[in-house]
Amino acid sequence: MNAVLKEIPPSSRVNHFLATPKKLLINGKWVTAASGKTFEVTNPATGAVIAHVAEGDKADVDAAVQAARKAFESAPWATMTSSDRSKIIWRIGELILQHRDELAELESLDNGKPMAVAKAADVPLAADIFQYMAGWCTKIEGKTIPLSVLYTPGVQYHSYTRPEPIGVVGQIIPWNFPLLMAAWKLAPALATGCTIVLKVAEETPLSALRLGEILQEAGLPPGVVNIITGFGETAGAALAAHPGVDKVAFTGSTEVGRLIVKAAAKDLKHVSLELGGKSPNIILKDADLETAIPGAASAIFFNHGQCCCAGSRLYVQKGIFDKVVDGVASYAKAIKVGPGLDPATEMGPMVSEIQRNRVAGYLEAGKQEGARAVAGGKAREGAGYFIEPTVFVDTRPHMKIIQEEIFGPVVAAIPFDDMDDKLVSAANDSIYGLAAGVWTRDVSKAHALAAQLKAGTVWVNCYNIFDAALPFGGYKQSGWGREMGEAVLENYLSTKAVTIRL
Evaluate whether 328 touches 422 at the Cβ level (below 8 Å).
Answer: no
- Candidates 202, 274, 405, 483; catalytic one: 274
Identify the three-state secondary structure at position 388. coil
CA angle, corner 92, sides to 467 and 470, nearest 5? 15
Q: What is the 3-state secondary structure (H, E, C) of 135-180?
A: HHHHHCCCCECCCCCCCCCCCCEEEEEEEEECCEEEEECCCCCHHH
Query: How many CB atoms lie under 10 A from the CB of residue 139?
Result: 11
Pairing relationship of beta strands 24-26 and 29-31 according to DSSP bridges: antiparallel
Rounded Cα–Cα distance for residues 450 and 457 (Å): 9
CA angle, corner 66, sides to 65 and 68, nearest 5? 65
To the nearest 10°, report the CA torsion of 440, 441, 445, 450: 50
Rounded Cα–Cα distance for residues 423 and 419 (Å): 6
- Candidates 137, 307, 308, 309; catalytic one: 308
Give Cα separations from 168 to 25, 125, 230, 249 (angstroms): 16, 25, 20, 11
Note the Cα 291 to chain centre separation in Å. 26
Is there a catalytic annotation at residue 194?
no
Is there a catalytic annotation at residue 308?
yes
Q: Give the active site residues.
A: 274, 308
